[in-house]
């Protein structure tokens, strides 16, 4: 097969593909050139930066392209239905990055609870703001609400329970076997009202889950964590709630627009802001690469 890798891939996985006789081309294409480029490949491997929309698919239609692989969980940067209607298979790697994303979500909770991001920043400026940032809180004993209790969400919940948190979760199709003394499924409305910290772990659902109305139903001083998709939060509503104090802090790894231009939110002192690095661990990238190789060889 002739394989295009647009957003990078684990080097050992590329070496394996080449050793197996495939031709691998690593090159990023801008949207207006991507469709034509796809015509010359049997498969394309993308991550977050490349978006394969109907416009690119129409150009690549009836070519040698038969397989699109998203190295990661979500496939919202691919127009899946249009691809499949053209006979192009779309696959992803849902298992490989779950632990990496879950650990980052927990890390963002600690950062919000103990002012790690902003306090560390002031240290770089030569300041000693012990009084300002010495009023954090402990995660143990708090109620974590996880919206989306799939692979990543459950891993977040497992770690949270391990550090003494009580977990409530909303899932469209809950699995009763996941419940225990420190983990229960609830309605989304109950979760919003009861959680001290809310973590989003669900695909983009079209409308923001966190908006002015849902924020109003939350506890005062709630913390919001998003390692899912930027579209799940109305950034203007979140910024207003941070400024009013309704939301105490937010940990954000994903943004409505990436790279984000929302400096008011990304530089807010109550926000721990990251550039979409949830799956960016060496271990996760090796697992993703291995899963991609398996998909290609199976295909």
The per-residue pLDDT for 271 is 98
pLDDT one digit per residue (tens) for the chain, 299 residues: 999 999 999 999 999 999 999 999 999 999 999 999 999 999 999 998 999 999 999 999 999 999 999 999 889 999 999 999 999 999 999 889 999 999 999 999 999 999 999 999 999 999 999 999 999 999 999 999 999 999 999 999 999 999 999 999 999 999 999 999 999 999 999 999 999 999 999 998 889 999 999 999 999 999 999 999 999 999 999 999 999 999 999 999 999 999 999 999 999 999 999 999 999 999 999 999 999 999 999 99
Of 84, 138, 189, 258, the active-site residue reads 258
C-alpha to C-alpha distance for 85 and 61, rounded to whole angstroms: 10
Is there a catalytic annotation at residue 177?
Answer: no
The per-residue pLDDT for 206 is 86
Identify the CA nearest to 218 among candidates 246, 190, 192. 192
User: Using an 8 Å Cβ cutoff, are 23 and 40 in contact?
Assistant: no
Is there a catalytic annotation at residue 229?
Answer: yes
Residue 5, classified by CB atoms within 10 Å of its CB into exposed (0-12), middle (13-18) or buried (19+), is buried
Of 47, 155, 248, 276, the active-site residue reads 276
Structure tokens at 174: 């809950």
C-alpha to C-alpha distance for 96 and 80, rounded to whole angstroms: 21
Neighbours of 143 (CB within 10 A): 16
Of 229, 248, 268, 287, the active-site residue reads 229
Is there a catalytic annotation at residue 276?
Answer: yes
Q: Is the pTM of this model over 0.75?
A: yes
């Amino acid at each position: 097969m002739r394989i295009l890798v647009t957003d990078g891939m684990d080097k050992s996985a590329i070496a394996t593909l080449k050793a197996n006789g495939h031709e691998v081309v690593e090159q990023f294409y801008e949207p207006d050139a991507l469709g034509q480029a796809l015509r010359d490949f049997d498969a394309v491997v993308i991550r977050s930066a490349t978006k394969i929309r109907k416009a690119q698919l129409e150009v690549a239609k009836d070519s040698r392209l038969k397989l699109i692989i998203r190295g990661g969980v979500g496939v919202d940067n691919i127009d899946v239905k249009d691809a499949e209607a053209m006979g192009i298979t779309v696959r992803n790697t849902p298992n490989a990055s779950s632990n990496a994303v879950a650990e980052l979500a927990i890390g963002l909770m600690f950062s919000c609870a103990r002012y790690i991001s902003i306090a560390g920043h002031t240290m770089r400026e030569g300041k000693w703001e012990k009084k300002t940032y010495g009023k954090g809180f402990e995660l143990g004993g708090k109620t974590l609400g996880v919206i989306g209790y799939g692979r990543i969400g459950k891993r977040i919940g497992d770690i949270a329970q391990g550090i003494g948190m009580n977990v409530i979760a909303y899932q469209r199709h809950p699995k009763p076997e996941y419940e225990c003394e420190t983990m229960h499924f609830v309605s989304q409305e109950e979760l919003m009202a009861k959680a001290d910290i809310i973590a989003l772990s669900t695909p983009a659902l079209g409308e923001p889950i966190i908006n002015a109305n849902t924020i109003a139903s939350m506890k005062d001083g709630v913390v919001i964590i998003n390692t899912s998709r930027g579209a799940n939060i109305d950034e203007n509503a979140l910024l207003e709630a941070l400024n009013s104090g309704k939301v105490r802090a937010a940990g954000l790894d994903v943004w409505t627009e990436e790279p984000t231009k929302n400096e008011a939110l990304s530089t807010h002192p109550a926000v721990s802001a990251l550039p979409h690095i949830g799956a960016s661990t060496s271990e996760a990238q090796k697992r993703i690469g291995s899963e991609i190789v398996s998909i290609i060889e199976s295909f």
